[in-house]
Structure 1
Amino acid sequence: MRAPGKLAHRTTAVAAAATLLLTTGCQSIADAGQTIQPADLVNELASRLDQASALTYSADYQLVGGASARIVQAQNPQRTAYDYPGGKLIVSTDATTECDTATARPVCTLSTGPSPSTQPEPELFTDANDGGLIAPAVVIALLTATALDPAAVVAQNDTTIAGRHATCVRVSQVQTAAASRFDACVTTEGALGSFAGVVDGQAVEIAISRYSDTADETAFELPAGARSVDRRPGSA
């Protein structure tokens, strides 16, 4: 499993007073009759993604080249599974489970899970990013960095993805994030609808192909035949 570090310079999602004038002419997400500053726009989308951690859903994504990936999230207890080419990541308060599925027998490494009140750190998703799947936590960090960058330019449009309304932003000239330009769409529910950009030198392009308001419980199972290595404190 690749050691995290490529995303170390990414600005994490933090609360900030967004008073930056990045560009003009964008419509408000909440009220189309009002204008909204782009910094507020990207902060609102970041907040929508963050609040979606309380949702239960299954989202299938189409990747470049015909590959596919999946994000499944459930509550009570809160847990999220990320399936992508070459790997699988399961994040819960009990453990963070990283699986390498590129070998004949998958190997899954368990480590301490994140606090239930916080988003996982973007560095956790380095392997998923390399596999073509960008996680909402990474997009939150990119949007937050955009809001804090006075050089950034943001344009908005609305679209429909897999039958779901989504608000989209086209971002460019960002100086303080892992991606200097990217497109991101967030559905009304708060799921990541699509993303296209180069993140830490890795081209990523995904779009929802199917969305359900239920969680497929099999997503939280280890790959068939996987060998597990438990590195949590106190494990045998």
Structure 2
Amino acid sequence: MPAVSISLRVLAGAIISVLTVSGCQTLDDAGRVIGRADLVNDLAARLDQSTELTYSADYQLPGGRSASISQSQDPLRAAYTYPGGKLTVTADATTACDTRAKKPTCTLDPPPATNAKPSLTIFTEMNRRGLVSPPVVIGLLTAAAIDPDAAIRQYDTTVAGRHATCVEVGQLSDAPAAGFDACITSEGALGSFTGTVDGTEIEVALSRYRDAVEKSAFDLPPGAGLIDRRGTPSPSPE
């Protein structure tokens, strides 16, 4: 299984900007010349498109486990459900829930500042539980693009009945990583990912995609205990 580290704080948000990265070129199996910047920008643009969509994506994980990513636009919010936990990002709070115990516990932290992007650190626990987020994948693609020794092969496939463009990355030397494999669907959803993130082997594959989201996708687990760390705003001066 290839190894990957996300210590590179390249793209630090759930709402991602498309990067233009210059770099070397490589050949795919058909002998086509692939510009690293073009390849990264194409996949980054697809992932970025997903931030403008309302959608739900279900994923299959090893051992029969499952995970999901849901996003809506009005209001803008996202939810990530994974084995043993759930993360929601809304205008009111960034909420991380631990669902392993009989009584779930949710910790509410302040939401990202207006027009700011959440730190990649909010996805750390999710990585450890087996689900990788689009912002993390973008950061890894960018790290590969700026590594002159990286070998990048592009190929197409079908995931859950949807066309996807993929990259197989190996021989990384300028980043603490060995390689990874990622596929992005035409809609911009993460189609699949194989690699090791934060020391955890991750293997996810899209099993279902829908252009709609259930309102309950953003609900906290029933009966969850709440730890609110958002604080109380200071009173306005007289």
State the TM bucket, normalised to the shorter chain.
0.7 to 0.9
Please say which of residues 51-60 and 15-24 is displaced more in the overlay: 15-24
Q: Is the 8 A contact 1:111 1:231 kept in 2?
A: yes
Judge conservation of contact 2:26–2:34 (CA < 8 Å) in 1.
Answer: no
| Aligned counterpart, 1:141 | 139
Amino acid corresponding to residue 23 of structure 2 in structure 1: L
Change (3 A) 1:178 1:185: farther
Q: Does the CA contact (< 8 Å) of 1:142 and 1:179 recur in 2?
A: no
Greater RCO (Cα-Cα under 8 Å, separation 6 or more) = 2
Deviation at 1:224, TM superposition (A): 1.1
Shift of 1:201: 1.8
Contact 2:18 2:48 in 1 (8 A): no
C-alpha distance in 2 between matches for 1:188 and 1:213: 13
Per the alignment, residue 107 of structure 1 pairs with 105
Match of 2:226 in 1: 228
Look up the SS of the partner of 1:140 in the other structure: helix
Deviation at 1:140, TM superposition (A): 0.9
State whether residues 40 and 147 of structure 1, in contact with CA within 8 Å, keep that contact through their aligned partners in structure 2: no
Give SS of 2:202's match. Answer: strand
Residue 25 of structure 1 deviates from its aligned partner by: 3.8
CA distance in 1, matches of 2:176, 2:51: 23
- C-alpha contact (below 8 Å) 2:53/2:73 kept by paired residues: yes
Aligned residue in 1 for 2:158: 160
What per-residue deviation string (whole Å, max 9, x for no partner) do you get for residues 100-123 of structure 1? Answer: 001111010111112464543221
Partner of 1:77: 75
Shift of 1:189: 0.8
- Structure 1: tracts of 5 or more residues without a match: 1-5, 28-33
- What is the Cα deviation at residue 176 of structure 1? 4.5
Contact 1:170 1:183 in 2 (8 A): yes
8 A contact 2:21–2:36 mirrored in 1: no
User: AA paired with 2:208?
Assistant: R
Equivalence for 2:88: 90
**Structure 1 pair 219/134, CA: closer, same or farther in 2 (3 Å)?**
same
**Greater mean deviation of Cα atoms: 130-139 or 175-184:** 175-184
Deviation for aligned residue 1:182: 0.4
SS at match of 1:105: coil
In the TM superposition, what is the alpha-carbon distance from 1:173 to its structure 2 partner?
Answer: 1.9
Distance 1:84 1:17, change over 3 A: closer
Aligned pairs for 1:179-218 within 5 A: 179-218=177-216
The match for 1:120 among 108, 118, 121 is: 118
Q: Residues 53-93 of structure 1: CA distance to partner in whole angstroms, max 9, x if unpaired?
A: 11110100000111000101111111110000010000112
Instruction: Report the equivalent of 1:59.
Output: 57
3-state SS, counterpart of residue 10 of structure 2: coil
- 130-139 or 37-46: which moved more? 37-46
Which structure 2 segments of 5+ residues have no match? 12-16, 234-238
Offset from partner CA, 1:10-64 (integer Å, 9 cap, x none) = 241277653311412488xxxxxx8541332023212321231111101000001
Partner Cα separation in structure 2 for residue 58 and residue 215 of structure 1: 6
Alignment root-mean-square deviation, CA? 2.3
Distance in structure 2 (CA, Å) of the matches to 1:142 and 1:185: 13
Provide the residue aligned with 2:14 in structure 1: none
| Matched residues, number | 224
Residue 57 to residue 15, structure 1, CA distance change in 2 (3 Å): closer
